[in-house]
Each structure stands twice: as C-alpha cells, then as structure tokens.
C-alpha cells in the first residue's frame, strides 16, 4: 500500500488514516527467531505539516518463539509503534543535518517495506520466555524453571574459563 504525496498535499495538515496488514510468511522468512506469527495489523496516519510528511502509528501481532535459554516454545504479543518523517529532496538539501528524515522518491510513500523493517528491528535476537528464565541445567538438562536439581553448576564467566583451567592444571 502506498500513500500518494498529492493526497497529503490536498489535505492541508489534516491526517490521512490508513490500515493494512503485513504478510506473516515473508516476515517469518526474514527472521530466523520467528517460528510463526499472525498477520501484522497496522493502523496509522499520514500528515503533511510544512515541508515535512509524517507517518506514524502502531503494529500488532502475536509472535511464536523458542526460548533461547530453556528451549520452551512461547507466544508473545508484540506491539511496535512507528514514526517516520519524509521530505522532498529539495527541502532536504536546505536541512542536511537532520539525518532521520527520509528523502521522498517519486510521488508516493511506499509503506510496506518500511513497516516490515520497523517490525523486524523489534524482534529480539535472543528471545526469552521470561526475562529471568533460568534455562536448562548444563549438567542434567532439566528445565530449571520447572524443577530444581541438585547439580552444582559453577557459573564461570566464559572470558575467565581459560584462566580457571590454567589454575586447575597448575595443581
């Protein structure tokens, strides 16, 4: 779905509301932590104020992940707000320092690629079922969120593990 610049010009500052849905399959293909997701419901509005065009709103979906620590599948409701500013190339030249402004190409704003990027940027690279997920025991493999085991797992900072070996060998 594209927004025509001329439509925004004609509205003289009055917001143009829009609704659309992002295809789930394509997003799933582009991020390997996404195991599944519902189509992403987008609602927002576009406005022209002065020389600038604003597009903002919110995206919603339920995303299925596998926890990176305990390997349990879980579903998370995700809401991603978005806010983008555009300007025609001519007016950008006058204000080069503001690098958050996206130059307009052609006479339309292409929403879908932009919203796909914003959505994917919000997907965690290391999804956790709970912020304090205890993960699996490295010794016996039980899920330590569900069950305590008697294993003594010394937590060694991986950067110091080599040093620990050094001291062990020295004995």
Residue from 52, 102, 114, 149 binding Zn ion (CB under 5 A)? 149
Rounded to 5 degrees, φ, ψ at 79 are -125, 130
User: In whole angstroms, what is the distance from residue 151 CA to residue 147 CA?
Assistant: 12
3-state secondary structure 80-138: EEEEEEEECHHHHHCCCCCCCEEECCCCEEEHHHHHHHHHHHCCCCCCCCCCCCCCECC
Which residue's CB is nearer to Zn ion, number 34 or number 55?
Answer: 34
> Residue 86 pairs with which residues in a beta bridge?
53, 102
* Min dist. Cβ of residue 62 to Zn ion (A): 18
Q: Decide if residue 133 touches Zn ion (CB under 5 A).
A: yes
Q: 8, 63, 129, 136: which one contacts Zn ion (CB under 5 A)? A: 129
Q: Under rule CB under 5 A, which residues in 60-89 are in contact with Zn ion? A: 67, 69-70
Contact between 136 and Zn ion per CB under 5 A: no
At closest approach, how far in Å is the CB of 154 from Zn ion?
13
> Could you list the residues that contact Zn ion (CB under 5 A)?
67, 69-70, 129, 133, 137, 139-140, 149, 151
């Amino acid at each position: 779905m594209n927004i025509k610049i001329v439509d925004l010009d004609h509205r003289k500052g009055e917001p143009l509301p829009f609704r659309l849905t992002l295809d789930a399959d394509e997003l799933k293909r582009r991020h390997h932590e996404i195991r599944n997701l519902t189509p992403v419901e987008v609602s927002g509005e576009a406005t022209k104020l002065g020389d600038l065009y604003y597009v903002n709103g919110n995206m919603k979906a339920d995303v299925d992940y596998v926890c990176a620590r305990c390997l349990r599948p879980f579903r998370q409701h995700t809401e991603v707000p978005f806010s983008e500013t555009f300007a025609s190339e001519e007016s950008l030249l006058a204000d080069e320092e503001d690098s958050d402004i996206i130059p307009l190409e052609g006479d339309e704003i292409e929403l879908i690629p932009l919203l796909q990027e914003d959505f994917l940027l919000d997907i965690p690279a290391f999804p956790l079922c709970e912020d304090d997920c205890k993960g699996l025991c490295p010794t016996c493999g039980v899920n330590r969120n569900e069950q305590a085991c008697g294993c003594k797992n010394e937590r060694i900072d991986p950067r110091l593990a080599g040093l620990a070996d050094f001291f062990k060998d020295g004995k």
